[in-house]
Amino acid sequence: METLTLEQAQQIIAGALIHSRAAGYQPMAIAVLDAAGHLKAYAGEDGASMFRFDIARAKAWGAVGMGVPSRVLGERAKENPNFFVSLSSTSGGRFLPQTGAVLIKSAAGLLLGAVGASGGTGDQDEAICMAGVKSAGLRHD
């Protein structure tokens, strides 16, 4: 069974930060989780606010737990807000259905984990996650 390695997780972060800096985004925080939702790697740039880690991790945790990118979760939350508020409460606040996290998949399509970012707009956060996954030679959803 293929799993997300520490080297891959660190490359995802490095690639995401390269993309963020090239685009001129605000200081970012990036959390990479494995398929079980455990933190594999994290980086917060100098100047990233104190909430960035919790937000990045919660975006990724929701994505890997529900098996879809956080953008999809945000869209679903609009249709059924009570369910998503309940999920956030039940998870102790570890679940955040906001754009900014993508799934990490192997070349064969196996779910390896998720990466979430916080620091920019949801679209910016999502873009750097996608860039990071691609830089590691993996797929994203």
Residue-wise pLDDT for 72-118, tens only, equals 999 999 999 898 888 888 888 788 899 999 999 999 999 999 999 99
- Give the Å distances, CA to CA, from 49 to 1, 21, 27, 29: 37, 17, 8, 9
How large a percentage of the chain has pLDDT more than 70? 100
Residue type, 57: R
pTM: 0.95
DSSP 1-37: -----HHHHHHHHHHHHHHHHHHTPPP-EEEEEETTS
CATH of domain 6-140: 3.30.450.150
Rounded-to-integer distance, Cα 97 and Cα 42, Å: 20
